[in-house]
Amino acid sequence: MKQSQLFYKSLKQAPKDEESKNAQLLVRGGFIDKVMAGVYNYLPLGLRVLKKIENIIREEMNAIDGQEILMPVLHPGENWKKTGRWDAMTVLFKLQGAGDKDLVLGPTHEEIVTPLGKKFIFSYKDLPHAVYQIQTKFRNEARSKSGLLRGREFAMKDMYTFDADEAGLDKIYAQVEKAYKKICERLGIGDITYKTYASGGTFSKYSHEYQTVCPTGEDTIYTCDKCKVAVNKELINELKKCPECSNSKLKEQKAIEVGNIFKLKTKFSDAFNLKYVAEDGSEKPVIMGCYGFGPSRAMGTLAEIFNDKSGLIWPESVAPFDVHLLNLKADNKDADKLYANLIKQGIDVLYDDRPEIRAGEKLADADLIGIPHRLVISDKTKNKVEYKKRGDKKTKLITDKEIIKKVMGNK
Amino acid sequence: MKQSQLFYKSLKQAPKDEESKNAQLLVRGGFIDKVMAGVYNYLPLGLRVLKKIENIIREEMNAIDGQEILMPVLHPGENWKKTGRWDAMTVLFKLQGAGDKDLVLGPTHEEIVTPLGKKFIFSYKDLPHAVYQIQTKFRNEARSKSGLLRGREFAMKDMYTFDADEAGLDKIYAQVEKAYKKICERLGIGDITYKTYASGGTFSKYSHEYQTVCPTGEDTIYTCDKCKVAVNKELINELKKCPECSNSKLKEQKAIEVGNIFKLKTKFSDAFNLKYVAEDGSEKPVIMGCYGFGPSRAMGTLAEIFNDKSGLIWPESVAPFDVHLLNLKADNKDADKLYANLIKQGIDVLYDDRPEIRAGEKLADADLIGIPHRLVISDKTKNKVEYKKRGDKKTKLITDKEIIKKVMGNK
């Protein structure tokens, strides 16, 4: 992609209406654009990052045999009245459709997926099932000033499982734990994300959050560095020590919740009377679980964590492009050639070909956008190319051949 | 994908609450599930079709240098008041957010993309731009009983263009015409889809609709078979003959509008004061265009057109799977082997491995789902496989090797 054509403009200053670092950097770099508090446009650069995060999550859900579906944004209000959440959930966006029908903008989809399950699940032979979607969710937050960390409209991967018994639920629950660990590793936050014990609601002792340590996070967790789990603030007074290794030296840290897994058991199958006929002929409620992971919040989290004073530093797995090629020469001839060559090799390149932009500004924009591999062609580089990894200080003159090795090394 | 695990159940009868053929077939085949009138769940089979249609559209938009972005569902009401459509558009879903803020669920995105353009467009050097999204849209239709043809919640590809002058607009307009022709060809409706002259609103003489001829369509068009264009009902009394070749023998036909292209000119740039500084230093309004193509309506259209009394007949380009493999033997051993082999060759297979389902039911389900290539392993097929193309009558015994040629022949 030629930067001269990219639908974006970087901002030298952080926008005045953004308090959070992630929004400041993402708006300045031309990744997102604020429509109103908690609601953003994703620009070409930002949508590339979001889609890469979503695809990582999708691949790991498919790997544990999750089946992708898509449930709607508009929910019948009656379903929410049936579960009691029409009144209980304060952040619900409510509206009326034709014929004064009460509607809800889905903040989560148990009220849709449980009645859906009733259509396909009758017997123990129809179990288990794990379905997931990557869908936009809505929460009518009173305040929304944390950029992508707490949106009124945001992306969510939510998986729901249907099992015949708790053993089945435990099995898929453990599989999702492993999948979430892989997702966090692939996003570059594997070593700072903790499976965190949280209270489980009516039906389970615990639920689990995936909390990524970050000084600006709005949650407080207590981490155990022996077994890499943590305890949520609401549970720490009850548990006092690590629930897995009994270590009592826990460290208080700020964190961002990027995912959660939750045993619903029969909470929603009871509400919608979702039952199946067991092998012995008896009728039993279906056992359910739900598993969330937020792609847009993960994007905000990465922006919040991976940056320096000059801008963003994306992990290779989610960077909008593999390579940022900057031409600082008066004419674009050599850079055009290299650009064409890199594309031919299957490398995704953002190419700063803008003719009237000063070298200093191009370099500053590259730091702000934060693509991992930077290549510069200038009068000084002769028949070589200057290479710098975003975040490193030193540059190096390399040949065309070495570029491929540098860029594709980790793939 | 093994059919025994697929999240779906086919229905022998058309659901009573669906009048349209597309919804009857898509619900019966387990592609979609009705949540309420005009609002559907996409099940694994249906989401595969929808995504394939979306990707065809995406590829053709990228090919004309459209840049993909994602604008939100939630719009500030004030933007709609500014253009007068808060009152003028009767199908607008309105709601209130925190702080009694008026909100709209986007039925189209001029009210978002025009203010967005203001952030990146200042000078003639910042033009042209073409941005598009594939996003869920909302229309509060009084009645919604045409399945995917007229949803309250539906998928839409909408592109918006920004140009310095009308010559620029004409150029991109012509490119989109070509892209839409390609999309229709790839969807298998190239020969029955007509570029249709429609009235252009305040600023343009004509707009153009892409109308697919279909006896159950709700639009009426007048087709010219000489130059493959048509005239909309609202224009026919004014034009009387083909606007391109003056042929007056036009044929009245029913059709479904799958896309439209529209010169907005300065309608929205005036409303939001979107101007640029021209080369001569003068300030001029940006010239805009908009270009819609509905993936979910296209899916409904294909279902409406490509079927017979036994079920759906998907074009290869959008079929949920390449091959439907049915095992009619008592044990799955041979079919398991063929399934593994086909997958290894990169073929997408739905494999009916269900142990307790009768042969007749498996064959009926295969016809209903409508995957183009059907393979049957039974006691009669010995060391060969029975091949049938969906829609053809005759079957043929073929070898493993011939399968690849049959299936991949058109790829």
Report, as ranges of residue numbers, the positions in chain B whose pLDDT lies below 70.
410-411
What's the average pLDDT block by block, 10 residues per block, for chain A (411 residues)?
Answer: 95 92 97 97 98 98 98 98 97 96 98 97 97 98 93 98 97 98 98 95 86 96 94 93 94 97 96 98 98 98 98 98 97 96 94 96 98 96 95 93 80 54
A344 residue type, one letter: K
Give A323's strand partners.
A349, A373
Query: Tokens standing for B125?
Result: 């050097």
Which of A405, A395, A404, A342 minimizes the C-alpha distance to A366? A395
* Residue among B4, B73, B74 with most chain A CBs within 10 A, to mutate: B74
B396 conformational bin, left if phi > 0, alpha if psi -120 to 50, beta if neither: beta
DSSP A53-87: HHHHHHHHHHHTT-EE-B--SEEEHHHHHHHTHHH
Q: CA-based Rg of chain B, rounded to a whole angstrom?
A: 24
pLDDT, position B411: 54
Give the minimum alpha-carbon distance from B226 to chain A in angstroms, rounded to a whole number: 39
Provide the β-strand partners of residue A262.
A290
Please name the residue of chain A whose CA is at the shortest distance from the CA of residue B355: A125
Contact B70, A50 (CB under 8 A): yes
In angstroms, what separates the C-alpha of B259 from chain A's closest C-alpha?
22
Name the closest residue on chain B to residue A356, using Cα atoms: B125
A142 vs A92, B76, B98, CA distance in Å?
11, 16, 5
In the chain, the amino acid numbered B217 is G
- Is this structure's pTM higher than 0.95? yes
CA dist A345 and A323 (Å) reads 12
* Residues with Cβ within 8 Å of residue B127, at least 6 apart in sequence: B121, B162, B163, B164, B168, B276, B286
Q: Which of A9, A69, A104 should we substitute to test contact with B (largest number of B Cβ atoms within 10 Å)?
A: A69
**DSSP assignments along A146-160, one per residue:** SGGGS-SEEEEEEEE
Give the span between the Cα atoms of A115 and B156, in whole angstroms. 27
A411: which residues sit within 8 A by CB, 6+ positions away?
A316
Mark B210-223 as b/e (b = at least 16 C-beta within 10 Å). Answer: bbbbbeebebebbb
Chain B residue whose CA is closest to A104 = B95
CB contact under 8 A, A93 and B97: yes
Residue A114 half-sphere exposure toward CB, CA atoms < 13 A: 27
The answer to whether the CB atoms of B33 and A119 lie below 8 A apart is yes
Q: What is the DSSP string of A4-63?
A: TTSS----SS--TT--SHHHHHHHHTTSEEEEETTEEEEPHHHHHHHHHHHHHHHHHHHH
The pLDDT value given to residue A115: 98
Tell me the chain B residues in contact with residue A101 when contact means C-beta distances shorter than 8 Å: 36
Within 8 A of B68 by CB-CB distance, chain A residues are 44, 47
Contact B136 A73 (CB under 8 A): yes
CB B118 within 8 A of CB B108: no
CB contact under 8 A, A70 and B76: no
- In angstroms, the CA B1 to CA B46 distance is 14
C-alpha to C-alpha distances, A375 to A8, A213, A366, A397, A406, nearest whole angstrom = 21, 32, 10, 9, 11
In the prediction, which pLDDT does A181 show?
A: 98
| Cβ-defined contact of A47 to B70 (cutoff 8 Å) | yes
**Beta pairing class for B93-97 and B101-105:** antiparallel
Tokens of A285: 């409620």
Token digits of residue B365: 């389900």
H helix runs in B77-210, sequence order: 77-83, 85-88, 110-120, 166-186
Nearest CB to A72 within list B40, B68, B95: B40
Q: Which pLDDT score is estimated for A400?
A: 84
State how far residue A8 is from chain B, nearest Cα, in angstroms.
6
Q: Are A97 and B41 a contacting pair at CB < 8 A?
A: no
ipTM of model: 0.97
Q: Encoding tokens for residue A312?
A: 């963003």
All structural domains of chain A: 21-71+109-308 (3.30.930.10), 321-408 (3.40.50.800)
Which residue of A7, A93, A120 is in closest CB contact with B69?
A: A7
